[in-house]
Structure 1
């Protein structure tokens, strides 16, 4: 009897070891619990200090890691006028993230400034090039990012609902060229870093099915959607249905690539905030510390309950009012950050656990 029990225990132990190894295969990504921290170098350069939940000054990245965050999202601009979010800064910040044992997710804007559904301005260095010349520069830049930063996730463009690298990559007017640029980026990433996951990113819910039908032939791994109640509606069931449909239709992992929520409708500087009115909120979640936490918990739960759901990312986590209470050029997001007006980590950060 004892020998049989011993045999059973050995079999169970071997099975557990086997499962553990399978979960830790090099190409496997854990459930992504991410925060966008792109402003961190700028804030630190101007003396900004972050505190953990015990009100002890601490590296903001470490506070996130200790809270359960496992991935840091960083935007990359080609040639920004002030050098912030440029290649060298992002490369150094990515190295910091890796030293802390977290994954690096690069959102490459292929622009010198913000790229989103409202604007997709190509880098000034690529002006006056023929399409073939632009494509060569595009591929060389993509190669530089992959080989020197080596991100775990490479997001080709940012909220590319209507394409990117205008006018050549405008989806409406130049669909063939848009798809050729996406294909080129994918080929470079697959060749230079096969383990890197490739993401296509769409803002919102409406029109997402159309967009991903257009990009169905592209070789990529993750479908990412931005979701903000103020712009994309308050019905989380529609969000989940859309993610489910996209994941199953195209056999891709799906995630909420951007989301956020306010812990107050107040402000901490004189920079106009994006959210400041009751009618901009989700009716189930007040603009309180608990409301913010409960909203993020619901986002996490929604993606966990979605077939092929692989994670979420909180946007503007670090964007506190770092230039003081009188600044008109500080933060339009400080009431949605993951640090409060005293720069202390908010309860919503515990959702990463």
Structure 2
């Protein structure tokens, strides 16, 4: 009996060794996936803020280059929006392709990856607003299609001229209801798809290996996201990654993550959280919710998360979902969510 116990023990030990050997590659793969997970921030306001005398201190209260501070939190990528013919308004303008490309070059020189996000408007487009650029407003579908081809091809070549190959290109911003409405409205899915496919094709023509995202808001409303993706897919829409915005906090995070996982599984495209943020006055809550998103996304193979304009001081434009303190110019505890 004793001998049998010893043999069983030996067999169990051998099994443990075998299992350990098998587990080693799996552990290495998990570690590699964690390392590849993108921690990013949209910093499109940075040039306007600098022009108005704003600067950023690190957590020790020492003035430092913003890129260096972000890298200290493990951030490896920045997201930069671009508008077609923007105004000079510091908060709601700028971000023309030349300015965006110059900032992209700065980011590249700082060792950052870059996501370029096309809004296809002269200012903000979002889930509730999808206005075409003023120069396109009177165009019919055929004319707008030509304009889309020309605009995206030109813009990508400007970025290339500045020596930047984007890690990602995002065609549209929170396009739940379509783009360039009414021509590219969701209610006209063939035209909506045609316009977005033109943007996809021109992005790939200039940057063949760069993945292209479509971008939807409010994943807490699963059917709203699915309505767009179903229409886009069924009309031959092309995309490589599904970008999602969510600013969910606390107890709302698990439900949003579950919907993100459903979206990823349902369309066979990896998801990326391209916008996140929370109340600047509740940094601990924002930190903990960010950590929950990062852990949850990693758990089902999501690609990364971007904090939207963490450097944007409320005094600059009354933006209250940033992660920098206006008085001390230091990052708040919200940024610790990346660590």
Q: Counterpart of 1:183?
A: 197
**Cα distance between partner residues in 2 of 1:235 and 1:186:** 33
Counterpart pick for 1:227 among 246, 251, 261 = 246
Matched, 1:103 2:128: no
**Cα distance between partner residues in 2 of 1:109 and 1:40:** 18
Q: Report deviation, 1:321.
A: 3.3
Matched, 1:254 2:268: no
TM-score (normalised: structure 2):
0.82
Moved more, 125-134 or 217-226: 125-134
Counterpart pick for 1:151 among 166, 187, 190 = 166
Three-state SS of the structure 1 residue aligned to 2:179 is coil
**Cα distance between partner residues in 2 of 1:292 and 1:243:** 19
Task: Kindly name which structure, 1 or 2, has the bigger radius of gyration based on alpha carbons.
Answer: 2
Q: Report deviation, 1:298.
A: 1.1
Counterpart pick for 1:332 among 319, 322, 325 = 319
Are the counterparts in 1 of residues 248 and 289 from structure 2 also a CA contact under 8 Å? no
Structure 1 residues not aligned, in runs of 5+: 1-11, 265-286, 324-329
Are the counterparts in 2 of residues 153 and 198 from structure 1 also a CA contact under 8 Å? yes
Q: Counterpart of 2:17?
A: none
Counterpart pick for 2:305 among 306, 312, 322 = 312
Matched, 1:71 2:56: no
Matched, 1:166 2:159: no
Q: Report deviation, 1:234.
A: 4.8
Higher normalized helix content (fraction of residues):
2
**Cα distance between partner residues in 1 of 2:141 and 2:279:** 43
Q: Report deviation, 1:30.
A: 2.8
Structure 2 residues not aligned, in runs of 5+: 1-20, 160-164
TM-score (normalised: structure 1):
0.79
Matched, 1:291 2:285: yes
Q: Report deviation, 1:85.
A: 1.1
Number of residue pairs matched by the alignment: 297
**Cα distance between partner residues in 2 of 1:338 and 1:133:** 42
**Cα deviation 1:48-70 (Å, max 9, x = unaligned):** 01101111111212210122101
Q: Counterpart of 1:283?
A: none
Q: Report deviation, 1:251.
A: 1.3
**Cα distance between partner residues in 1 of 2:256 and 2:242:** 13
CA gap of 1:32–1:219, structure 2 versus 1, over 3 A, is same
Three-state SS of the structure 2 residue aligned to 1:105 is strand
Q: Report deviation, 1:147.
A: 2.2
Are the counterparts in 2 of residues 159 and 203 from structure 1 also a CA contact under 8 Å? yes
Q: Report deviation, 1:184.
A: 1.2
**Cα deviation 1:71-125 (Å, max 9, x = unaligned):** 1011111111116111111111000000011111111100001101221111112
**Cα distance between partner residues in 2 of 1:204 and 1:130:** 30
**Cα distance between partner residues in 1 of 2:140 and 2:218:** 32
Three-state SS of the structure 2 residue aligned to 1:79 is coil
**Cα distance between partner residues in 2 of 1:164 and 1:33:** 28
**Cα distance between partner residues in 2 of 1:319 and 1:244:** 30
